[in-house]
Amino acid sequence: MKTKILVVGCGNMGTSHARAYHQLEGFEIVGLVSRKAEGRERLSQELGGYPTFGNYETALTETKPDTVSINTYPDTHADYIRKALNANAHVFVEKPLALTVEDAQSLVDLAKAKNKKMVVGYILRVHPAWAKFVEVARTLGKPLVMRMNLNQQSSGDNWYTHKQLMNSMSPIVDCGVHYVDVMCLMTQSMPVSVSAIGARLSDEIDSKMYNYGQLQVRFKDGSVGWYEAGWGPMMSETAFFVKDVIGPKGCVSIVDEAKGDSDSVDDHSKTGALKLHHSATDENGNFMKSDEIIDTSDEPDHDGLCLLEQEYFLKAILEDLDLSDHLRDAVNSLRIVLAADESFRTGKTVEL
């Protein structure tokens, strides 16, 4: 028996997830929802003619889905999730879960009370190369030093999307939840404090918002990490993609000589290869091992990663998987990036 799914949001992520539901035998798309008629009609036509709706509440009432997939702007997530859960539907939602830790935790509690599955779209968790990256990082000893960024030189439609996102959150909050989540997986330790800096580099965004930011996080085990994100036509493409982890025993980095356009969604999760360096030296102080290149070029594209996410979501529903750890991590990563936002606005380190 198929699970009836309502897809809300027909932008980049909504389109990729809808393609996954269309392919997977366990799902039956009962509607595509988007405020923009052009987007929902284009996607419906691509997938063979699914019903379309301009209003979420109407679609929820008329289609009575078993499952709702929420891929809209972050400021709608909490409201849409709550309505889906109260309609007795399972939920897949793109990150972040909500705009506040309190809202996020209340949604987790509601999902448990309703006995419904809720999966948050941390796409790097299903990425085989990123899973290898985390695995290798855990072999480097403690403490870890984690350096990560994703700056996007966006223009045209992508800059428009970024400006819309910044109506509710900064780049280090919106993107940072992914990479802070990875840091938590690597250290398997609790974060203890967060600080951040940032700058507003465009008159096209709200005077209280910033389109460049960097956060620094300290963990209980002594590990430290930084994450940097900037959006806009002014951003530099020099070293826009850094994914680097250092420990007492060496370091591992994502390397990809063919890394292309900082504004390409497909390039954001690509790895190409991992470079592993061993720090051990002999009696003369020379390295005992050569650097290793771990090939990760045979990896899914963006649509392929979304397919893996939705296979996991379907498995969670059909096999009644315990998602407690998944949801705890979703709330904790949100807690860290929101603390970074508070640090930027107050100029003070935030203790967690």
CATH of the domain at 103: 3.40.50.720
**Dihedral sign for Cα atoms in the order 340, 341, 342, 344:** positive
Name the pTM for this structure.
0.87
Give the tokens for residue 94: 């793109």
Helix, strand, or coil (residue 249): coil
Q: In terms of domains, do 86 and 146 share one?
A: no
Helix, strand, or coil (residue 212): strand
Q: Residue 19 and residue 65: Cα distance in Å, rounded?
A: 18
Q: What is the pLDDT of residue 268?
A: 46
HSE at residue 193, side-chain half, CA atoms within 13 A, is 6
What φ, ψ does residue 12 adopt, rounded to 5°? -55, -55
For the segment 187-214, what is each residue's pLDDT rounded down to a tens digit? 999 899 999 999 999 999 999 999 999 9
Total domain count, the chain: 2
Q: What is the pLDDT of residue 258?
A: 45
Q: What is the pLDDT of residue 271?
A: 66
Residue 198 forms part of a structural domain: yes
What number is the average pLDDT over the span 73-100? 96
Residue 39 forms part of a structural domain: yes
Q: Residue 40 and residue 4: Cα distance in Å, rounded?
A: 18
What φ, ψ does residue 340 adopt, rounded to 5°? -65, -40
Show the beta-strand stretches assigned E in the chain. Answer: 3-8, 27-33, 52-53, 67-70, 90-94, 118-121, 145-150, 191-199, 212-219, 224-230, 241-247, 250-255, 272-278, 292-296, 350-351
Domain limit, last residue, from 121, 155, 173? 121
Using a 10 angstrom Cβ sphere, with 0-12 exposed, 13-18 middle and 19 or more buried, the burial of residue 246 is buried
Q: In terms of domains, do 176 and 37 share one?
A: no
Q: In terms of domains, do 170 and 27 share one?
A: no
- Which percentage of the chain shows pLDDT scores above 70? 96
| Beta strand 212-219 pairing with 224-230 | antiparallel
Q: What is the pLDDT of residue 138?
A: 98
Q: Which amino acid is at 186?
A: M
Q: 184 with 329: CB under 8 angstroms? A: yes
Q: What is the pLDDT of residue 299?
A: 86
Beta bridge partners of 350: 194
Q: In terms of domains, do 149 and 92 share one?
A: no
Q: 299 with 271: CB under 8 angstroms? A: yes
Residue 160, pLDDT above cutoff 70: yes
Q: In terms of domains, do 164 and 288 share one?
A: yes
Q: In terms of domains, do 267 and 186 share one?
A: yes
Q: In terms of domains, do 63 and 198 share one?
A: no
For the segment 28-45, what is each residue's pLDDT rounded down to a tens digit? 999 999 999 999 999 999
Residue 245 forms part of a structural domain: yes
Domain residues for 59? 3-121
Q: Which amino acid is at 181?
A: D
Domain limit, last residue, from 90, 121, 152? 121
Q: What is the pLDDT of residue 223?
A: 98
Helix, strand, or coil (residue 104): helix
Based on C-alpha coordinates, what's the Rg of the chain?
21
Domain limit, last residue, from 58, 93, 121? 121
Q: In terms of domains, do 90 and 148 share one?
A: no
Q: In terms of domains, do 109 and 154 share one?
A: no
Closest by CA position to 169, among listed 192, 148, 195, 198: 198
Q: Which helix (H) or strand (E) holds 332?
A: helix 324-346
Q: Which of 231-235, 331-335, 338-342 has the lowest mean pLDDT?
A: 331-335
Q: In terms of domains, do 190 and 277 share one?
A: yes
Q: 295 with 273: CB under 8 angstroms? A: yes
Q: What is the pLDDT of residue 270?
A: 56
Helix, strand, or coil (residue 301): coil
- Which percentage of the chain shows pLDDT scores above 90? 92
Q: Residue 313 and residue 326: Cα distance in Å, rounded?
A: 12
Enter the DSSP assignment of 281.
Answer: B
Closest by CA position to 24, among listed 301, 299, 303, 314: 314
Q: Residue 225 and residue 227: Cα distance in Å, rounded?
A: 7
Give the tokens for residue 308: 């893996």
What is the distance of C-alpha 57 from the center of its chain? 26
Distances in Å between the alpha carbon of 326 and those of 108, 135, 333?
10, 18, 11
Quickly tell me which residue has 């592993």 as its tokens.
276
For the segment 228-287, what is each residue's pLDDT rounded down to a tens digit? 999 999 999 999 999 999 999 999 999 975 455 556 555 544 568 999 999 999 999 999
Q: Which amino acid is at 143?
A: P
Residue 86 forms part of a structural domain: yes
Q: What is the pLDDT of residue 256?
A: 73
